[in-house]
Amino acid sequence: MIGTILSATARKLAVIIWNMVVKGVTYNNPAGYLFLDQKRKLGLVKRIQKQIDKFALTTDDMQINKL
């Protein structure tokens, strides 16, 4: 299993480097490589927003004061 993981990672790196060197493509770090805590926070925000939309809540309903 570890060999498969290493092979997949090596291939991904090889493709990225190949595209940078041969094609002159700049490397764009995708959002999928965020740290786990950042991904968890983004997911939490998305879930909360869905709940707000689902129940059609307003700031008055949630008693949130705007600054």
**Pair 23, 40 in one domain:** no
| Tally of domains in the chain | 2
Domain identity same for 40 and 64: yes
Q: Is the pLDDT of residue 4 over 90?
A: no
For residue 65, the enclosing domain spans 34-67
* Domain co-membership, 24 together with 52: no
Quick: pLDDT tens for 15-60.
999 999 999 999 877 766 667 778 888 899 999 999 999 999 888 8
**Pair 20, 26: CB distance under 8 Å:** yes
More confident residue, 37 or 12: 12
Residues 21 and 4 in one domain: yes
- Average confidence (pLDDT) over 1-27: 90
- Does the pTM of the predicted model rise above 0.75? no
SS (HEC) of 19-38? HHHHCCCCCCCCHHHCCHHH
Q: Are 22 and 39 within one domain? A: no
